Amino acid sequence: MLKEFKDFIMRGNVVDLAVAVVIGTAFGAIVSSLVEHVITPLLLAPALKAARLENIDSLHWGAVKYGSFLSAVIKFLIIAFILFLIIKFFKSLEKKTVPPAVAPTTMETLLTEIRDELKKRPLTSSDPIK
């Protein structure tokens, strides 16, 4: 049973997924910091000051904290946009190569030669096909 567990863990998919989760978590922390410490103060600070609010998280209506929701939506949009740019960049790096032409087989070469020779011969009245 221990060997089966080791085989399961060592599968490429499980390891790749674990790496993706760790990198995604770190990336999420970076984007959260970007939104909270850069974008919110630069872009939303004037709007928040005009509304006499100091922090987007303080926006609420009764018990509903829609400011936190707005902050999460902004984070999601930024993460999605950055991932879009990263994927677009990596796709632009892919070289679009044309596969090399496959050489004709011996049979194809012979058939081509026979066809070409038959085209050269004039048709006579004794030929079955006219």
Report the C-alpha gap between 24 and 30 in whole angstroms.
10
Q: Bigger pLDDT: 60 or 85? A: 85
Q: What is the pLDDT of residue 28?
A: 80
pLDDT band at 112 (very low <50, low <70, confident <90, very high): very high
Segment 5-21 shows an average pLDDT of: 76
Give the whole-number percent of the chain exceeding pLDDT 70: 82
Q: What is the pLDDT of residue 12?
A: 65
Alpha helices in the chain (DSSP H): 2-9, 12-34, 45-50, 66-93, 106-120
Decide if pLDDT at 130 tops 60.
no
Report the C-alpha gap between 124 and 109 in whole angstroms.
26
Q: What is the pLDDT of residue 61?
A: 77
Fold classified for 2-93:
1.10.1200
Burial (CB < 10 A; 0-12, 13-18, 19+), residue 19, is exposed
Domain ranges of the chain: 2-93
